[in-house]
């Protein structure tokens, strides 16, 4: 009985590896041309927005990259960079065929259309059949290496830029922001070679 749950867990982890974002909020935006786009960030000013059935409304949050992140989210920037580095390492450990299937699956899941729903199901099934064993091996090897591996150079560069940008605002920060800055600074010094 535990096998189906294990398989579901591996599928979920596989989707994370191939860049499928976990979204707490979904925005349905309709442009002037009538094209509907679903996104994890608020609609542009020239688009109309509406709620997505089954998803509760909350205050819109702007999607920003870690180097543009407000100081209140400094604490999560190091975690996000570590997760991105882990995703890249796992993706690099997969065969080109499985990497391609995973990327296609991620792209279809990021778009919302009825036609792509069938495609998503087909790709998910294909990933499970062809790549799940390979993914499980790569995932286990990554876990055996440990969670405190150094970040890749791109992630370190991005985090160092964020630390430098935040250091310039240090005098204007609240106590909470200063604590987040100190935590980020510590994470960067430990995780980056």
Integer angstrom CA distances of residue 81 from 88, 105, 152, 160, 188 = 11, 22, 9, 11, 10
Rounded-to-integer distance, Cα 65 and Cα 187, Å: 18
| pLDDT for the residue numbered 114 | 67
The answer on 107 and 40 residing in a single domain is no
- What sign results for the dihedral spanned by CA atoms 133, 134, 138, 144? positive
Judge if 92 and 154 occupy the same domain.
Answer: yes
Looking at the fold, whether 31 and 83 belong to one and the same domain comes out as no
In percent, how much of the chain has pLDDT > 90?
A: 3
Residues of the chain with pLDDT under 50: 1-3, 5-6, 9-11, 13, 15-17, 20-24, 53-64, 66-72
Q: Do 35 and 125 belong to one domain?
A: no
Asked whether residue 42 falls in the same domain as residue 87, the answer is no
Judge if 68 and 133 occupy the same domain.
yes
Residues 169 and 126 in one domain: yes
- 164 and 181 together in one domain: yes
Task: Indicate if 31 and 7 belong to the same structural domain.
Answer: no
Same domain as 100, residue 33: no
Domain around 71: 2-25+61-191
Structural domains in the chain (count): 2
Indicate if 65 and 114 belong to the same structural domain: yes
My answer on whether 39 and 78 are in the same domain is no
Report pLDDT digits (tens) over 16-25.
445 544 444 5
Q: Are 29 and 43 in contact (CB under 8 A)?
A: yes
């Amino acid at each position: 009985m535990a096998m189906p749950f294990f398989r579901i867990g591996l599928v979920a982890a596989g989707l994370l590896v191939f860049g499928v974002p976990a979204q707490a909020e979904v925005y349905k935006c309709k442009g002037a041309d009538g094209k509907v786009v679903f996104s994890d960030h608020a609609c542009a000013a020239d688009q109309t927005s509406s709620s997505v059935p089954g998803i509760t409304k909350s205050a819109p949050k702007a999607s920003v990259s870690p180097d543009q992140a407000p100081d209140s989210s400094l604490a999560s920037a190091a975690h996000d960079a570590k997760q991105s580095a882990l995703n890249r390492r796992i993706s690099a450990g997969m065969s080109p065929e499985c990497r391609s299937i995973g990327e296609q699956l991620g792209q279809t899941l990021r778009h919302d259309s009825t036609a792509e729903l069938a495609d998503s199901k087909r790709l998910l099934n294909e990933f499970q059949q062809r790549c799940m064993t390979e993914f499980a091996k790569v995932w286990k090897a990554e876990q055996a290496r440990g969670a405190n591996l150094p970040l890749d150079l791109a992630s370190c560069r991005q985090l160092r830029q964020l630390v430098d940008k935040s250091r310039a605002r240090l005098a204007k920060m609240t106590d909470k922001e200063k604590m987040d800055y100190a935590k980020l600074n510590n994470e960067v010094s430990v995780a980056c070679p």
